[in-house]
Amino acid sequence: MDRIVVLSGAGLSAESGLGTFRDMGGIWTRYDLSEVATPEGFAADPAKVHDFYNARRANMAGAAPNAAHDALARLSGRADVTLVTQNIDDLLERAGASGVIHMHGELSRALCHACRARWDAPASMAPGDPCPACAAPATRPDVVWFGEVPYHMERIEAALADADLFVSIGTSGQVYPAAGFVEMARLSGARTLELNLEASGGRFDEVREGPATEVVPTWVAGLIGDASA
């Protein structure tokens, strides 16, 4: 099988009830990202940032993986497939996927910005929570904010350089460096495919429009057969 890199965005989890960011009613139409998704916002008002992520963590706990997560989980674990996501939810893991690369971090994890320790986040975090490793009151959600460097970029760039096929699922392609992956894949000679509710406008060889719960399982079944049949 081809060496495949799959990038997913908020559209993958939309039908599980988790909000997207820039669609109608999206998260960034209801919150000012500079206040809740930047280091400056966290420094200015850590309680507001923790409240924002505590609410999203509660939404995530109440959500369930959808058919698109289930389909990608059937692909995961294969040596020739690299699953990269911009999403900070755990729905791919709850669908059974393993080895998912969360380039924007994970809502289910916490980080100490004093000693860089990471651990499973509690349901609710608050300013001054002590780090379980160094006791410093320096804990935050393990989420990459605007202006910060995304995680695992070397692994992602190596996979893109080696890819035969790049598939973008449910992302508007507005935020770099993820927005540049399609071009990096093309320069490596990969074919490029977008699966999205509507074309994002990025330069793809092929676009299949439709809800992720329809277009993703159909694509995966075409690739490896329909395990759900």
Nearer Cβ to ligand APR, position 41 or 131?
41
* Partner interacting with residue 197 (select from ligand APR, ligand NAD, none; CB below 5-8 Å by kind): ligand APR
Sign of the CA dihedral 57, 118, 28, 30? positive
The residues in 91-120 that bind ligand NAD, with binding defined as CB under 6 A, are 104
Nearer Cβ to ligand APR, position 131 or 145?
145
Note whether 174 and 22 are within 8 A (CB): yes
At a CB cut-off of 8 Å and minimum separation 6, what does 110 contact? 118, 119, 120, 121, 122, 125, 129, 139, 140, 141, 142
28 is in an annotated binding site: yes
Rule CB under 6 A: is residue 148 a binding residue for ligand NAD?
Answer: yes
Rule CB under 6 A: is residue 143 a binding residue for ligand NAD?
Answer: yes
Shortest distance (Å) from residue 135 CB to ligand NAD:
27
At a CB cut-off of 8 Å and minimum separation 6, what does 206 contact? 191, 192, 193, 194
15 is in an annotated binding site: yes
- Whole-angstrom Cα Rg for the chain: 18
Rule CB under 6 A: is residue 150 a binding residue for ligand NAD?
Answer: yes
* Partner interacting with residue 9 (select from ligand NAD, ligand APR, none; CB below 5-8 Å by kind): ligand APR
Rule CB under 6 A: is residue 228 a binding residue for ligand NAD?
Answer: no
CA pair distance 138, 111, nearest whole angstrom: 8
Active site residue 104: yes
User: Is the bond into 122 cis (omega within 30 degrees of 0)?
Assistant: no
Alpha helix segments (H runs only) across 76-211: 91-94, 153-161, 181-187
* Partner interacting with residue 170 (select from ligand APR, ligand NAD, none; CB below 5-8 Å by kind): ligand APR
Catalytic residues: 104
Positions touching ligand NAD (CB under 6 A) are 22, 28, 32-33, 37, 88, 104, 143-150, 174-176
Binding residues for Zn(2+): 112, 115, 131, 134
